Structure 1
Amino acid sequence: MDNLAQLTIGATLLFCVLATAGVHTYASGKAQREALVHRLSSTQQIPLGRRRRFTGVDRRLKRTGVGKKIENRLAATGLDLTPGEFFVYMLAAVAGFWLVASSLLAAFFGPIAAAIALWAAFAFLNWQRQKRIERFINQLPELSRILANATQAGLALRMALAMAAEELEEPAGEELGKVANALAVGQSIDDALGALAERLPSRELVVLVTTLVLSNRSGGTIVSSLRNLTITLEERKETRREVRTQLSQVTATAYIVPAMGLLMLMFMDNMWPGALDKITASGLGQAVVLMSLGLYGLGFFLVRRLAKIEV
């Protein structure tokens, strides 16, 4: 009986000692982690993560095909959004546009405004992706120069890409970091650079990737090729800037004309209260309104198409 009591007391004391040691280890580890995060964030080496919203919606959405497409588009834009957050914000925008159009114009314009808001959400993703591609293209001359200097110094192409990822700013630094990570886990240079060209499609990047891949396969002199490519990319960068400046007025016209049509509708409804309700009350009036909106949309598409000049 005494042995059982001593064994129980000993086991209890051992459990208390282990529990105390575990709590102390956990507390010290947590304090060290917080100190490390604070030190790195203060020197801007890593960003502090934010709390994600709508995690339940995000988990369910990622299981669907639509969620995967949204996730791929968000990854190409570089936005700090999850598919669930974007989906909820998009639904809120659709509902808000519906209510605003119904209250300011007429009930008939509610679904039309909701459809426009839905299109505008995905157009916003495409716009952000195109902006990121443009920034990446502007960094290509510097990227080519860094790779040429690194290879001339005797570094392998894998090491040159990793060094460029550390020296360049966003988005080139992030994208090249993905390439370096892919090479570190065993992917070939062809596959890693091909994935980069798929994420950020552009003629300039395709030329650079093709030059790197062919030089890596054949073992030729990559330095002279990159030097010549740097000069070509600088010239194309200036040409693209000039073309964009020349077409800025045309691009502004594409947005101003539909905006003028919307303002005219609001002005007419303000001058004659209830005019839009009377117009959209009949089938003929609804058909005329839809035809007018279709013509505005066609004009917007044609102007944007004419202003899109590939350099």
Structure 2
Amino acid sequence: MQAAAKRGILARGVSTKALGDSLRSVMRKVPQPVVVVTVATPDEARGMTCSSFTSVSLSPPIVSFAVRYPSSTSQLLSSSSLFAVHLLARQQVAHSVAFSSPKTQADFTRFSHHLDESGTGLPILHGSLGVLICRPESRVQAGDHEVWYGRVERMVHGLGSTRGDPKMEPLLYYESSYRSIGDEVFLDAFERGTLSFSEWTHRAHVRMAWLYITEAKGDLDEAVPRVKEGISRYNEANKERVKTGYNETITMFFLRLTSMAIEADGAAAASSDFLDFLARHPMLDDFRFIFQFYSRERLYSAEARQQFVEPDLRPFPATLDDARRAMAP
């Protein structure tokens, strides 16, 4: 029966990507707990918002969670002998967002916490439903994620104290009440038009382009319609705040440049996060870079808003080295 169903799917020509999109849509309707995993090495301590947390076994006590693979998160977990899994409370949305971004994963100063008293150095965030101190048991690569299994060695209940608050409720990722993890948090909010307008910065535009091009395996022709549709939908949802509107030339300039950077990264692109990507290609993070190629008059002309126009100060860079030379003082 299963083989027949599989043949039916293949016969209808359903692609792996289409099935993945359908799975994501279905799983959005399934409530999932949100956890932050903290780790500590002699050199650093970080927290990471993780997905797909579950209790696997009670005897022995084993839990699991998933992280994107390959990633710096996976590397850090590999170098740690213990980690702490925080089951977030409903009031801890800010924690989940902060620890989903590599830029703020090492900053614990925003949140009440203490270092584990047993000498592990693990940061323990206050206010969670509970904290599980775990020793890595095993890990399994599954598609674009890595599933980690941890044996629970002890627990810290609620608020970093010895007892939990029975009135506390879990933070769940479920449809419109909360978004998924990391880049999913950002992209889902963007696609629904609920991303805070104050966060719709130039960097956010580039991040959106990076995600769509990466999902399209570098195929710019596939990514461009999604980018344009996404911007149009977001602008419509925020039309009372949008002042300048859509500009085809600006959009395509940074899209083409982002695509060149992803292609140049090669294998490194698959294992990097967005901030790593920007660190390698800082010209993408600076909107003013475009004025090395365009005069303001040409860039903001009616023609440039409607269709892509070629630069008037210097040609569009043929290579990333050309772009870097244009950025140099």
> What TM bracket, shorter-length normalisation?
under 0.3
Query: Which of the two has greater helix per residue?
Result: 1
Give the structure-1-normalised TM-score.
0.25
Query: Which of the two has greater strand per residue?
Result: 2
Give the structure-2-normalised TM-score.
0.24
State which structure, 1 or 2, has the greater radius of gyration over its C-alpha atoms: 1
